[in-house]
Structure 1
Amino acid sequence: MTVYDHVLVPTDGSDSSTAAVDEAVAIADEEAATVHFLHGIDEGTEMSAGASGMIAPQVTETLEEEAESALGDAERRAEAAGVTSNRTIREGDPHEVIAAYCDDTDADLVVMGASGRSGLKERLLGSTTDRVVRTVETSMLIARS
């Protein structure tokens, strides 16, 4: 009997996020589950950068490159372990993107890093992981680097 069929891993490429990828891949390997790698591009970052005019397209391109890099690394780790995976990029507030994707895929488990690539704003308002823990009803595993 499989406990987990769909494991969701939001990833931003940080050390903590990479630890979450490794944990999720190990669980999926044991459970014959599919791992869903998700990267949320924070529209707030794009909009605040866009206020200065010409910088917005460059910021968007950089954010997309970071997303592709993080997801590519996660996919390589899953492939090396023989685990089925898929990848998705969505735009929006990260914790809302994660919660919506969790519902869309009927995720059985969310594996997230304890901290990601956040700045002062995240420390003042609380981390994305904290928000997801309080928002989703899916079981969660918090990984530390």
Structure 2
Amino acid sequence: MYDDILVPTDGSESSMAAVDQATAIAEGRATTVHFLHVIDVGTEMSAGASGSIAPQLTETLEEEAESALDDAANRAEEAGISYDRNTREGSPHEVIEAYVAERDIDLVVMGASGRSGLKERLLGSTSDRVIRTVDTSVLLARP
């Protein structure tokens, strides 16, 4: 039914629930699950990163991305499913929308809430934005 499933992951409890849902859907099928971590360039900007702090912040964000993707990949390997892992920079909902279009994704499985703060809640969550902008089905997972 689904050839390609996208799971945006930030390592949060909610996004790991999405990993579990996607692997359950893909298990025993010829489905590839795409794990995507978006390094929010707005995080770097809003933190006022400059000078010697910028490389340290970038390194921390890259380590968080690798950790989240490692966790997702481990779960996929345990389930015996085909997967790939990607890290991109940008605004999360825009990167997710572009990835869906580029890879002809059949289903997006994402956490209902992630690591966003008050600002994000006031503006609308990444999940809300993705639901409104992608041309494919979106499954929201809760822990």
Normalised-by-shorter TM-score class = over 0.9
* Distance across 2 between alignment mates of 1:26 and 1:113: 15
Superposed counterparts of 1:39-118, under 5 Å: 39-118=37-116
1:143 and 2:127 aligned: no
Contact 1:47-1:56 at 8 Å conserved across structures: no
Contact 2:93-2:126 at 8 Å conserved across structures: yes
* Counterpart AA for 1:99: E
Q: 1:20 aligns with which of 18, 21, 31?
A: 18
SS in 1 for 2:116: coil
TM-score (norm 1): 0.95
Contact 2:21-2:109 at 8 Å conserved across structures: yes
Shift, 1:36, TM fit: 0.2
SS in 1 for 2:47: helix
Consecutive unaligned residues of structure 1, counting only runs of 5 or more, are: none
Superposed counterparts of 1:28-39, under 5 Å: 28-39=26-37
* Distance across 2 between alignment mates of 1:50 and 1:104: 32
SS in 2 for 1:35: strand
Shift, 1:48, TM fit: 2.5
TM-score (norm 2): 0.96
Hey, what does 1:120 align to over in structure 2? Answer: 118
Contact 2:110-2:139 at 8 Å conserved across structures: yes
The number of residue pairs the alignment matches comes to 143
SS in 2 for 1:31: coil
Root-mean-square deviation (CA, aligned residues, Å) is 1.1
Shift, 1:54, TM fit: 2.4
Hey, what does 1:134 align to over in structure 2? Answer: 132
Consecutive unaligned residues of structure 2, counting only runs of 5 or more, are: none
Shift, 1:61, TM fit: 0.6
* Distance across 2 between alignment mates of 1:105 and 1:139: 14
Shift, 1:120, TM fit: 1.1
Contact 2:9-2:110 at 8 Å conserved across structures: yes
Contact 1:49-1:55 at 8 Å conserved across structures: no
